[in-house]
Every structure is written in C-alpha cells, then in structure tokens.
Amino acid sequence: MERFGSKRFFFYVCGTIRFRGIGKGEITLAQILVDHLTFAYEGGFDNIFEDVSFRIDTDWRLGFLGRNGKGKTTFLHLLLGRYEYNGSITTSVTFDYFPYPVTETDLSLPAADFLEQWKPGCELWRVLVELDQLRESAEILYRPFGTLSPGERTKIQLAALFSGETDFLLIDEPTNHLDQEARENVKDYLAAKKGFILVSHDRDLLDACTDHVLVLNRKSIDVQNGNFSVWWENKQRRDQFARGENEKHLKEIEKLKQSAEQKAQWASRNERTKIGFDPVKEHDRSKDTRAYIGAKTKKMQSRVSQMNNRIQREIQEKEGLLADLEEPVELKLMPLKHHKEVLVHVRELAVAYETSVRPVFSHLTFDVAQGERVAIHGKNGCGKSTLIQMILQAAGVAAAGKETGAEAEKRQAGGAGGFPAAVSGLCETASGLVISYVSQDTSMLKGSLQAFCRERGLDESLFCAILRQLDMERVQFLKPMETYSEGQKKKALLAASLLTPAHLYVWDEPLNYIDVFSRMQIERMLSACEPTMLFVEHDLRFRRQIATKTITL
C-alpha cells in the first residue's frame, strides 16, 4: 500500500497487478498509467480527483464502481481528452466511448446511414457480425433509429463500438432502461469480450462480465483482481478488520491517557513537596532531599511525555482506518394505513393510446393489497409505464404524490402516443388513496433544491437530511439540480418520495443510475418498513429481494 499527496489516496495491489520494477514515467505495453491526476470542473466547489495514481491493463474486463457523483463518467471523459487536468494519463491505445451521441436528425434515419459518424472507418459487415453475437437481426440497421426500442438502440451502438480491432472501450451504464431479456443479451455479449472499462451498478452484470474492478472509495482507490462479488467480500473483510483495529486503538489510547494523567498528578504532587516541610512530622528529611525529589519528578514527567508520544502514534495509526468504511445510515419510510385492504383493483383491462387502435396490453387482472410489493415485469414497450399512468389516472392527479407541474404535464401527455385510455375492463383505486410517485424521467429537475422543496411542499431540512443519508455531499445542495449527475437526480426524486407519507408507493425504474451501495441501502429499508408498493425495476437482484408478487405483461 502506498500513499499519494495530502489526501492520502490508497490503492491495493493484488492478483495480477504488478507495479514494482517500473520507473516513474515508464509504461509497459497495453497499460494505462494515471500519475498524480488532479481535476476539478471550472467554477467547481471541490476537486473530483486529487493527486490520484494507479495503473490498469488494457487486456482486462474492468468493472468501474463508485458512489454517485464520485467521478466515474468524468474519468472516462478525461481518458478521452475532453477536459484539461493536472498530472498525466499515459497509454499506447486509443479510446472509444459508449453511448454515442444521437441527434434529432439521426432519429429519423436508419443507423446504417450514420454509423460512420459514430465510428470513423466503421465497416458495415463487422457491425453485422457483432449484431449476430448480440442475437439481434440486421434488419434494425435499416429502420428509423427513433422507432427502435431502447434495447435495439443499445445493441446497435455496442455492435458499432466493438466493430474496431485496437480500441480500448469505455462503456458507460449500457443497461439503463433495458428490459430483462435485453440485459441478458448484453451480459452474455460482454462476457465474451475483453479490453474495456464497464461503468455499471447492476451487480449481476458486473459479476458476469468483469475480471478486475476499479473502485472509487470514499478516500481511496482500489484496483483488484476479480468481479464485484469478490471485491465486495474482500471489502467486508477489510472493513471488519478496520473496525477491530479501530476498537483496539481506541482502548489503547484510553488506557494510555488514564496512565499519563495519573503519572502527571503524581509528578505534580511530588514537585510541590520540594519547598517547605514540617520538621516535626518529617524529622528524617533535610534540605538536601530537594535534589532527590526533583530527579524523581523529572523521571515521572519524562514517562508522561513518552506516554503522550505513544498516544499521538496510536492516533496517527488510527487515522484512515475507517476512511473507506461503508456504513450507510438506515433509511426510514412512513407508510400510511388505509381503511381498505385492496388498494388497486384491475379486471380484464385492455389499454391503448388515444392515437392507436391496437391495445398495448389486454385481459390484465390483478389486485394490490396492503403490505404487498408488486413488481411489474416485461419487455420494453409492453406497457409497464402505461399501466402505471392508468393507475395514477384512476387515483386522480392530486393523489399521484407531490408532482411538479412539468411532471404532471409530461405524464398527462403520455409520450408520443398521447394519453393512455382504457379500451375495456376495469382499473380502480381505493377512495382517498395517497400515492407517492417516482418517475423514471429526471429531465424536469432544474433550479435550486429550495425551490424544488417549496413546489412539492417538502420540509427542506428533512429533505437534505435524507439526501445526506443517501451519501450526497452537502456541497451539492448549493448547486442547480440540472448540474447533478443522473444518479444524484434520481436520489432527489427518491428522497422526495421517502419524505411523503403515502398509502401506495409507485416507483417507475427507481434504480436507474443509482450506485450499488445506495441500492443495497434501499433494499434494506424496504425489507424493514414493508410499504405497499407497485414498481418497475429491471435490476434482477433488487426485484427478487423486494417483490412479494410479480405481474408479467
């Protein structure tokens, strides 16, 4: 373990990583050397990276982990040379980045027409080969890009990304908004590749596709051999060891302080006896005794000084032990109790958009009873969000939670297809039902946190307290919400929902962009508080742990 700079960033070297024998500024073939990297955004409040150094091999399948706002996407942009920074990044490879930018014009064109814009020199036949490995038809290259599902768009971009031969690939959260089937296809595809950095919060994807991890901890950086589960197991062991060492140091410090205080009192009392004495009571003492007492006092004071030095050494050894400890605060939820047992009642429901005759789904029947956590599962485009909109419509706009005006307008617009309208069947909710709603869309978040709280009628101090519990830095509270990362925006929506007492919590893809640690924190909270929920979420581990019932469309 080595230290860099005043912030004392650490990296752990294990597995196949070998740094010894390489001089400063040197780099072996197919490595990326990051040396004393420091970076902050112009006008930013703090450094994103400060004096960071590590090396990675370009033959790895590297999983990139860290809390929201720690700088994962920023680091990828630094590799691409998009920002100025202090320090150096040295490599012999070229980089390519997912996702590619898509313009409004591109949406009306087939992808085959603009592949060259994404990846200069891209050969169509190579893209076709990669699409076949993704178990996708070549036909999607010739349909307007805007008509494709999120999964189809992702597969085209990944196929273009991997169509080169020498690039080291930077893949930034490829599975957000993808259904389970598309995620499985992407997972199998990436598991057969190598030479990439994968930013993801999907634990199954990281376990299946990575053989090393790069982790941005709270105060350090880990580079380790193995996938997410291997790293997490090692981290739990390190954290347990750090707790034990911290406890041992605290006890030793307390013992030394007590002993030093006792000896200091003895020395002080002994020193006071040097001057003045009662010849009747102390008949065996003379003035020559003063020298003896002074020497004895000096010896005691020397011992006190030695103990104080030991105390300082113990404190220094204790420093940093808990710097990377992940002990998230337990979140709280305050669900309301409704007088009816069944909160949502759906019978033989068929739904279509106003501009379409063909139903999105039909013959749907289910109930949501109090205490149930119901997952809505299905492919992209099967009507999951449409069903949620129908339930919100049945409950009334006011019952949909504290929506902003922009959210309500967008929800009522119903996307390109218009507002969903029931073709047949029944969708009703219990009277007086209060719903707390989390939208999958975060584009409406603009302006200050204070304005956001005022518009939704939230207590600002409690709202900020929940954001702190979700590990958002206080400095973010001073920034406009449009400057937040996507994960930080989603945390703001989740915090607003947690602060809203409700009978039913309706969450539409709540974990998109949310970091792994916060996902586990939310899982523990939902398991403990057992609210009534209706949610859409493609994170398989989350769904398996939280859902008491699954509705498949």
Q: What is the pLDDT of residue 237?
A: 87
* β-strands 373-377, 196-199 pairing: unpaired
Q: What is the pLDDT of residue 15?
A: 35
- What value does the mean pLDDT take over residues 339-360? 84
Q: What is the pLDDT of residue 247?
A: 77
Whether 521 has a pLDDT exceeding 70, the answer reads yes
- What value does the mean pLDDT take over residues 173-197? 89
Whether 166 has a pLDDT exceeding 90, the answer reads no
Please confirm whether the linkage preceding 501 is cis (ω < 30° from 0).
no
How sure is the predictor about 420, in pLDDT bands with cuts at 50, 70 and 90? Answer: low
Q: What is the pLDDT of residue 141?
A: 94
Q: What is the pLDDT of residue 380?
A: 77
Report CA dihedral (452, 456, 459, 460) to the nearest 10 degrees: 0
**Greater model confidence, 396 or 122:** 122
Q: For residue 483, give the DSSP letter.
A: G
Q: What is the pLDDT of residue 23?
A: 42
Cβ atoms of residues 401 and 471 within 8 Å? no
Q: What tokens does 317 get?
A: 């050894």
Q: What tokens does 457 get?
A: 């009628």
How sure is the predictor about 539, in pLDDT bands with cuts at 50, 70 and 90? Answer: confident
Q: What is the residue-averaged pLDDT of the chain? A: 81
**Can you say how many angstroms the Cα of residue 85 is from the centroid of all Cα atoms in its chain?**
24
Q: What is the pLDDT of residue 28?
A: 46
**Can you say how many angstroms the Cα of residue 378 is from the centroid of all Cα atoms in its chain?**
25
Q: What is the pLDDT of residue 326?
A: 62
Least confident of 98-112, 264-278, 299-313, 336-350: 264-278
Whether 210 has a pLDDT exceeding 80, the answer reads yes
Helix axes 150-161, 124-133, angle to 10 degrees: 120
How sure is the predictor about 404, in pLDDT bands with cuts at 50, 70 and 90? Answer: very low
**Greater model confidence, 285 or 229:** 229
Backbone angle region of 483, left / alpha / beta, with phi > 0 → left and psi within -120 to 50 → alpha: alpha
Whether 431 has a pLDDT exceeding 50, the answer reads yes
pLDDT digits (tens, 9 = 90+) for 462-501: 999 999 999 888 888 988 999 888 889 999 999 999 999 9
**Residue 296 CB contacts under 8 Å (≥ 6 apart), including other chains:** 270
**Residue 265 CB contacts under 8 Å (≥ 6 apart), including other chains:** none
CA distance 477 to 449: 6
How sure is the predictor about 348, in pLDDT bands with cuts at 50, 70 and 90? Answer: very high
Least confident of 34-38, 69-73, 315-319, 414-418: 414-418
Q: What tokens does 51 get?
A: 């004096």
Residue % of the chain over a pLDDT of 90 = 45
Whether 171 has a pLDDT exceeding 50, the answer reads yes
pLDDT digits (tens, 9 = 90+) for 132-158: 999 999 999 999 999 888 888 999 999
**Can you say how many angstroms the Cα of residue 551 is from the centroid of all Cα atoms in its chain?**
28
Cβ atoms of residues 169 and 98 within 8 Å? yes
Least confident of 262-271, 425-434, 436-445: 262-271
Q: What tokens does 241 get?
A: 């060891």
- What value does the mean pLDDT take over residues 210-216? 93
Give the residue among 343, 385, 506, 499 at the shortest CA–CA distance from 437.
506
CA distance 20 to 217: 23
How sure is the predictor about 375, in pLDDT bands with cuts at 50, 70 and 90? Answer: very high
CA distance 15 to 30: 17
Q: What is the pLDDT of residue 126?
A: 93
